[in-house]
Structure 1
Amino acid sequence: MNATDPLIVSRYDVAMEPAPEDEPNLIIGAVADDGQPVALFLDPEARAKVAGWLAPSLSEEVERLRTRLAELEPYAPTGHDPVEDIEYQVAGDWGVDGADTAEQAIAFVRKALQAYPHCGAHAQQRITRRWDDDSEWYGPWTDLPIPPQRQQEDPHDGPLASRYAECRDLPTTYTAGSTL
């Protein structure tokens, strides 16, 4: 290799930042095509120059993003308020079923868990938004809380107990013309 041949680096292994008390030179460890180790010393001015080659300046990046946003503008929502809706579903070991209301989803979960306690049934909801131009947004599914089910009153207890006792002793079969 003579002095006029360029040194071609094929692999970069390490970049070493200087210690705070040292000169602010970045050292890049590399390997040339012929296997010779190479150290690149970059002072702050050279680092800025290389950084400009590798990454666009902030103003260039802002301009690029503005251009891209202008290209997307026709696809953006029209600015009118979206129609917001809530979707419901019931999921479990069997898969997913839709529901029209939260109450319907909760009832489905209760019924499924009563019949199959280990089926993993749970109700979910998510918000959806639709704009005039048919663009849509779907929020994440969130679990619906299943409130505890009210216990049905036992007719043997409470204020109806005496009425139940009266009715319990009545004959269960009637013949035509008989009276109670």
Structure 2
Amino acid sequence: ALQRTQRPSDIPTLSTMKVLIVLCLFGLALGAPRPQEEEAVVLPDEVAVEAPVEAPVEEEAPPLAAAPAAAIDTAPVQAVINTKAEGEPVVILLQETSPVIGPVFSHTLQLDNGIAETRSGAEGAEGTSTMTGSFTIPLGDGEVATFNWIADELGYRVESAHLPQAPAAPAHVAEQLRIAEEQRAAGITFDGQGFRIEA
């Protein structure tokens, strides 16, 4: 049996392989889907209208602070926004909104199903915005849950008697805190691993 030996000219060179890879990538690019080009719509002569097109006149808007303040609407708005559980429409009894001037605003909403909300904004420390508000929700047992909140540079905080409360610390925790305070007063110190540092 004859054994064929490969000559150096039969082995593809590195530059030939690079050319083949580039050609493959080029072929992939040609075969890739392209975004659809918009086709020009040509209207028949009888439909086409030749009219001069004028550019719209753009007027510069006055600065926000110079805008006149809108009056606060205090009249009850009779608008259906949702339905009650019984299928009756919910009606807005009161809706007051002041104009927003920078961070300053106020908004009040009261619905006939007992839901109410108020919120207001004011300038906070160092140019930040501070917002406060509350919302009231009737509970199924006739009780009303009220939530008061504030959002400022310290974060968002909510207070309500209806929020879950952490349980009181067990007695052994209070005892450990008392012992630690006595040790601090006596000048006893500990390292980061809880071992006493002898002075």
Q: TM-score range by the shorter chain?
A: under 0.3
- Structure number with the bigger relative contact order (C-alpha 8 A, sep ≥ 6) is 1
Structure whose residues are more often helix by fraction = 1
Provide TM-score, normalisation by structure 1.
Answer: 0.25
